[in-house]
Structure 1
Amino acid sequence: MSLVSFTLKRSKRHWAIVVALMLICCLVMPQWASAHAYIVKASPAENELLVTAPELLSLEFNESLQTAFFDIKITAPDGTRADDGNVRIDAKRPHIMETGLQSGLANDTYAVNWKAVSADGHPIQGAYVFHIGEPSGAPAGLADLTSGAGEGNGPIKWILSLTDWIQYLGLSVILGTLAFLLFRIMPTSMATEPLDVPGSHKLLWISYGAASLAAMLSLPLSTLYESGVSLSELSWALIGSALKLTSFGLIWIVQMLIIMLLAVTILSGYDRDRSMRTRIWSSYGSLLLVLGWLFTHAMTGHPAAAEQRALAITMDYVHLIGAAFWIGALTAMAICLPPLTDQLPRKLRGDIYWTAIRRFTAWGVGAVALLVATGIYSSLMILPAPILTSLFTTGYGLVLIAKVVLLIVMLAFAWRHARLARSGSGDRLAGSLKAELAAGAIVLAMAAVLTHLSPGQPAPVGPFNEVQTTDDGTTISLQVSPNVTGENVFEVGVKRADGSIVNDLEQVTLSLTHLDMDMGIYEITIPKNDTGVYKAEDYISMPGRWNIKVHLLTRSLDALDAEFEIDTASP
């Protein structure tokens, strides 16, 4: 049996595995889960009118919170604190954060400003108001409180994504290089022993150094991100709290242990004073340690907050392995093969290139199988329903679409390389191999970005502007600008069926209800006027999907109603 036919038969078996995995994903479909924590019940609720002052304020979330970097501040209109400063997360009920209120609070409007860290390590924050007795209007500075609602420390988030990307790249190259050497993807005629390939040693150490440095920096960066403090406020005490009280702290310690052990196994694998058997087993040890390092990344992503946590983490882990092998083995072939073959005759050089490609294809099809099956599963698990809407209206969905497009580009290149390998034409690695590798590097960058994006957070789409028509032909328009958390301008316009402006409204009321969180109903009353333009400045307390009910009452006591759904993003 020829190598080509053997490879094709193995590929068919791998594609059968793809189909089987997809069927399993459909049968074992996870429950829908947003990957970041959000409030499911607030007591007092947003804009709730209380007769007497409460003794306790409680925020219940959809998932557990981490016991570090959380706080609730309740502020009176004059800026004084109304809470007792005793903010707590009950160990037996880690999804509930609460604080006591000071006694003897006067009838007034109070602002609640809260922050926490969700189970997947993402900081969340928000603000809202409640009233005791007659409302007195929003406390001063509430717009500033709500302008950062959602996730904090944006710049640090992108730096963390960069460190994750460097780790993904480094680990992929280490994994792929070891696989290239140990799994005989490299033609055996090219080196006496697999670990004697020139350039592989340097490639491993460069990748190890970059990934290790990025991992070390991730602890202070994660502390900045989760605590929300500035760089000047970062302290060893804060870093210590992150180590002891957050899930990432324990994972970081494990990563440091892996880094130290990996240095030992790489050194042993290239120590020529040791027997080849010992060197090979040391290299297999390096492979296992890299797989362990990748597992720690699966533990810190969105799957860590899923309802079916073990299954979600497993799927994400397998997804990472598939991507790392594909991109890493491509890197090893692109860097290690040319120096080995430059001095060989042209015909032999071509045979070696395409033999390596054929051997890689046999493994690569399996990697693609894992990527596709686990990618579908993870997307269905993480994106909030409806899936198609989330794909095109959230930042997470848009990045995911771009990632899928690049993956298709990589598959097209891989198909071309497989065809060239079957024909055996040419004597050099195709230039498109480097293009496939570049696309893979960008895919890893997008994976790093997705780790720190909220699947439920809408992409910044700009001001909201929509018109609805009632049964009698009256049109009601609503504009919300800039449509971000914090201060917004709400403008309502009304026209009769003949196009004339309705300017005799006695009452214009907007009722805002968050569609994903139990925040109560927040009402905005727009003053009446004779211009026909009804405008007010008010705030939106949280990002996400909001229902806005517009209620209009004319001087003749005719009621007009319309409902709008908006997606609000963080600024």
Structure 2
Amino acid sequence: MFKNSKWLLLLMVMFAFFIPKEAFAHAYVVSSNPAANEELDQQPPSVSITFSEGIESGFHAIKVLNAKGDRVDKGDTVIKDQKIMEAALKKNLPKGIYTIQWNAVSADGHSVSGMIPFSIGKAAGGFDQLEQGHTDESIDVASTIDKAFLYTSFSLFLGTILFGLLWFKTAISPVLAKRMKRLLTVSLIMMGGALVFQLPIQTKSAADVSFWGAFQSSLLQETIASTSGGSLWMMLMASFVLLTIWTIVAVRKGDFSSFRVWLFPLLLFTVLLWLKAQIGHPAATDNKILTTSLDFIHLVSASIWVGGLTAIVLLLMKKLPNEDQPLMRSTLAAFHPWALLSVGLIVFSGFVNAIFILQSFDTLFQSAYGRTFLIKLGLFIIMGLLGLMHYLMLKWEKKQKRSISLRAEWMIGIAILLLTAVFTNIPSPPPPAPEPFFGANQVEHRDIVSLSITPNAPGKNSFEVAFTKKNGETITDIQSVTAKIHKVALFGDETPSEFQLKRLKNGHFSAENLLLNEKGTWKIEIHALTGSFKNIDTTFIRRN
């Protein structure tokens, strides 16, 4: 069986392609207080940085340095609301230029860092050009190899079990049973090794140290205690131990076609895949339930398709006793509907997640991530067509042409492996630059109420409301304007925040530094009162 080791390598290549989900975006700086290059009239009590996604509670720090390089913060960096990192400053700082040096670990486990200059008083001589945010975009060889082994083991395990339960339609011969035991043994060894090494690999990325430096006990302990990936790793290892025990029990019973025997291993394997889907960017998005569910579907679907194909190749293409030879067609016929369903789910989940990552159509062509995604999609289509050709040739028993198709599939797999090694380390593009919001609603007597929000992004925003008549003249007798803001949630709106707008001039009112703390759909209710005690009410919906 292991003379066909190229199939195992091809499988690893395919999984490195099909499941690059942990290469989602790193955390980006959405805003900071003070802002980069901001000149302050007086010292703030603290500095803060707001990120595009949640950051881990471990491996984070803010240092504020003066022009001499002396530290002027109190050394008590805290994280608020998962996305805001804050540090208090010492009192009575003199005027001058200061630099915020920060580092954190984003939800996908990658270390991010940067520097933000600001000044108290005028910045004499100007600011140096410093990076507001930086991520390490070099290829992580250890992580790539580990993922290839892990996803290969997933497919080998599930494909072998489903081969006996669903696709092989007769009693399993002793020779076939022996091969299935070997595949399950190999899959568990690979799975265990890959899971064990995930902890130091996570630590390497989070602590920004070398691979061997990540084996320091203090760093490993901080990863487990202070990062979500570390705690999930503990649950993954516990699930794997239970999975191994129940698989050994099931194998010893020797019945590979009994759902009753393999029920617990399948349930434990499902739990393991679900836990794996909780690691990375999908678990940190505003749509956590949706994105982690899609990631889980992606894992299961790829395990079924690639694992089923591999089980059929490794178990049936090698010479078998005569009683098993005629079963190739029936096995492929039983596998084919599952393969089609799996491919459909892979495409669906991949496209939906791409929408969340790329965020706009332009980034599909203008970013390295988007262009690589298009290349990957093209290779996926080619590999799918070759897989279909291979299936038909197996069905028609055209051995010579089948060999040609396998070589072509192998070459595509090598190309995908090289592409994936780069793709999994390309951060997705940062969120597109926000555009100011403007809306105009018609109210009673065809008068117009308009609302503008600048910059219309998470963080502090300026609101301005204007009142005009249908002929374009300003309504001058507006006495007061209030606004209610609340986020529209899936199961009802959140508690609104109410504030009073100040008069700029007749018919124009504004409010500064109002906080929109996250992306999404927000409802803004405007209530105005005229000099004749007439109410003007209207509602705006703001999305981004």
Measured after TM superposition, the shift of residue 218 of structure 1 is 0.9
> Does the C-alpha gap of structure 1 residues 250 and 242 become closer, same or farther in structure 2, counting only changes over 3 Å?
same
> Unpaired runs of 5+ in structure 2?
1-23, 432-454, 462-544
TM-score, scaled relative to structure 2: 0.68
> Does the C-alpha gap of structure 1 residues 375 and 444 become closer, same or farther in structure 2, counting only changes over 3 Å?
farther
Percent of aligned pairs sharing the same letter? 28
On the 8 A contact 1:116/1:124 being kept in 2, the answer is yes
Measured after TM superposition, the shift of residue 158 of structure 1 is 3.8
SS in 1 for 2:117: strand
Measured after TM superposition, the shift of residue 378 of structure 1 is 1.1
Deviations 1:16-61 (A, max 9, x none): xxxxxxxxxxxxxxxxxx8433222211110001122222111122
On the 8 A contact 1:70/1:116 being kept in 2, the answer is yes
In structure 1, distance between residues paired with 2:97 and 2:366? 34
RMSD: 3.4
Measured after TM superposition, the shift of residue 376 of structure 1 is 1.4
1:225 aligns with 2:205: yes
> Does the C-alpha gap of structure 1 residues 206 and 431 become closer, same or farther in structure 2, counting only changes over 3 Å?
farther
Please, which of 49, 52, 65 is the counterpart of residue 42 of structure 2? 52
Aligned to 1:176: 159
- After TM superposition, list the pairs within 5 Å mapping 1:39-188 onto structure 2: 39-90=29-80, 93-137=81-125, 146=131, 149-152=133-136, 154=138, 157-183=140-166, 185-188=167-170
Measured after TM superposition, the shift of residue 354 of structure 1 is 2.9
Deviations 1:426-462 (A, max 9, x none): 599655246547756876886787565421259xxxx
Residue identity opposite 2:243 in structure 1: L
Deviations 1:489-523 (A, max 9, x none): xxxxxxxxxxxxxxxxxxxxxxxxx9989799xxx
In structure 2, distance between residues paired with 1:36 and 1:357? 42
Please, which of 217, 221, 225 is the counterpart of residue 244 of structure 1? 225
In structure 1, distance between residues paired with 2:214 and 2:148? 26
In structure 1, distance between residues paired with 2:456 and 2:115? 16
> Does the C-alpha gap of structure 1 residues 437 and 323 become closer, same or farther in structure 2, counting only changes over 3 Å?
farther
Aligned to 2:536: none
SS in 2 for 1:58: strand
- After TM superposition, list the pairs within 5 Å mapping 1:78-477 onto structure 2: 78-90=68-80, 93-137=81-125, 146=131, 149-152=133-136, 154=138, 157-183=140-166, 185-188=167-170, 191-192=172-173, 196-230=176-210, 231-232=212-213, 235-271=216-252, 274=253, 276=255, 281-341=260-320, 344=322, 349=325, 351-385=326-360, 387=361, 389-420=362-393, 423=396, 425-426=398-399, 430-433=403-406, 435-436=408-409, 439=412, 453-456=426-429
In structure 2, distance between residues paired with 1:137 and 1:207? 62
Higher relative contact order (Cα pairs below 8 Å, separated by 6+ residues): 1
> Does the C-alpha gap of structure 1 residues 359 and 279 become closer, same or farther in structure 2, counting only changes over 3 Å?
closer
In structure 2, distance between residues paired with 1:50 and 1:410? 58
Aligned length: 415
On the 8 A contact 1:410/1:436 being kept in 2, the answer is yes
SS in 2 for 1:339: coil
On the 8 A contact 1:176/1:331 being kept in 2, the answer is yes
Deviations 1:53-111 (A, max 9, x none): 22211112233322111111111121111212111113xx2221111112222221111
Aligned to 1:497: none
SS in 2 for 1:199: helix
> Does the C-alpha gap of structure 1 residues 368 and 423 become closer, same or farther in structure 2, counting only changes over 3 Å?
same
> Does the C-alpha gap of structure 1 residues 431 and 363 become closer, same or farther in structure 2, counting only changes over 3 Å?
farther
TM-score, scaled relative to structure 1: 0.65
- After TM superposition, list the pairs within 5 Å mapping 1:478-517 onto structure 2: none
In structure 2, distance between residues paired with 1:70 and 1:287? 38
> Unpaired runs of 5+ in structure 1?
1-33, 459-513, 521-571
On the 8 A contact 1:357/1:417 being kept in 2, the answer is no
